[in-house]
Chain A
């Protein structure tokens, strides 16, 4: 009798989400898209108005001219080779920054003396403008791709490491207790508790690391110009030399598009994790366990 009541209660407690019909999905997609289209239209109008106002008339191109310039550039081999080079460097540099950041972050997070020694150094490196590294990198590697990659890694890795450390720090103490009671220790504790527990914090850190990486990359391509190796930075730089404002703005738009596209990817990853975890509940659980902790401290601390 009792168990059938329990099963009935379970059925009442777990309500399946209502199936979403196609019209609803379409409406949701539209509600996400139209503000973006509207923003684009507003930018276009303002840009056109500035152009029509005649301010710096011979320098500032109108949006129509710029987009047709971009269209023309997109039909050249040099343009795509430049995009490929820049994205390739971004990908490689980011991957290296990830690898180094995860290893360093894991070690620093779990080994107390190491954290005391280099914890603040990592934050210092994260805040330091990556441009500062260029003279160092150029003297070390010359005018080469390695010099650019070196600076990218120095720009991105500290953010990754800090994200790992923050993820470990914010692992709810209740889960740590539960894991220890199960008998997880050292490496298995790292693998089965700390790494997965820090994932949401980690993804936020990855996004920041990407921003730093991308900034450093563009700066690098403007400073370290390698002959016969077109990149988006090189295009931008040579357009500047020829005072070709239309092409400059066209390349800027390409950078903008890359930025938005990568941000979109991070958004998808973040959303997938939040859904998988039911993060609202996880946060609640976290605050509950912190509450219990605080209460226990109170209990111990009051005479």
Chain B
């Protein structure tokens, strides 16, 4: 965590000229090149790009799981990370998984049970606390993972294609859930996806990254009123604009 300074900066997450190179010398591969980005507290930022844009690398760096080769990252507050797979512990119940997160940050035993139940209520999983992960559907597991992230009392929530493995209907419903959970919690979210419509549906802002190496090539504000629907005309229209720009970027690699 040494390079990720936890400060009282006005922005919740700031990346200043962040580069990440894997390997050394001739075989060195730049994954991120001079990425600068700032997310304000409570802002929902979607990062979008084709393969090789270093989206996952970027989240790992912000999470402190990896160190940047150069540049500065500052994060104001606690960070939680969600993956494409829920990453729940199969030997614990849904409730147990959430309680472990509470325990890890030192919540007293007497309090844990009730707090975990509240977290599960928040993601509409009331009554499923005693189930083990394998007894739940993919969407439900992902909600337990969201409850676990909330239990970490995070100010910044990093999400790495969290709904990528779900069917379309479940995914749309989880978009609503995520909207609801973020509302009133002042959560700063960095959400990585390669689904442009999903990005427009969820984000206050969509950041487009180039591929190999990843660079910020465009930013789009999303001035669409909430609640939004992924199949509404304004979402589709903005998504169309962004997709065109993304295709342009991808076709550059074929030349």
Contact = CB atoms under 8 A, between A and B. Distances in A.
B104 A184 contact: yes
B140 A303 contact: no
Nearest to B78: A183
A229 interface: no
B210 interface: no
A32 B157 CA distance: 51
Contacts of A14: 128, 131, 135-137, 140
Interface in B126-141: 128, 131-137, 139-140
Nearest to A181: B81
Contacts of A31: none
Interface stretch (B5-13, B82-90, B185-193, B231-239): B82-90
B137 A175 contact: no
A2 interface: yes
Interface residues of B, number: 50
Contact of A10 (B79, B83, B103, B140): B140
Nearest to A278: B134
A182 B104 contact: yes
A9 B29 contact: no
Contacts of B74: none
Given A181-B81, A183-B104, A282 B90 contact: yes
Interface string A193-204: 100110100000
A6 B63 contact: no
Interface string B79-101: 11101110111111000000011
Nearest to A189: B104
Nearest to A277: B90
A299 B212 CA distance: 9
B216 to A, nearest CB: 18
Contact of B31 (A3, A178, A199, A300): A300
Interface stretch (B33-41, B169-177, B197-205, B218-226): B169-177
Interface residues of A, number: 41
Interface string A5-44: 1110110011000000000000000000000000000000
Contacts of A240: none
A5 B85 contact: no
B137 A13 contact: yes
A292 B90 CA distance: 19
A9 B56 contact: no
B52 A299 contact: yes
Given A6-B124, A6-B177, A300-B31, A197 B91 contact: yes
A277 B85 contact: no
Given A7-B124, A184-B104, A299-B54, 4 more contacts: A13-B139, A178-B88, A288-B85, A296-B56
20 contacts: A6-B124, A6-B176, A10-B125, A13-B136, A13-B137, A14-B135, A14-B140, A174-B87, A177-B81, A178-B83, A181-B80, A182-B148, A183-B104, A183-B105, A197-B89, A276-B132, A278-B90, A300-B57, A302-B212, A303-B212
Interface of A: 2-3, 5-7, 9-10, 13-14, 174-175, 177-178, 180-184, 188, 192-193, 196-197, 199, 276-282, 285, 288-289, 292, 296, 299-303
Q: Which 7 A-B pairs have the closest CB atoms?
A: A278-B134, A13-B137, A281-B134, A178-B87, A2-B176, A182-B104, A282-B90
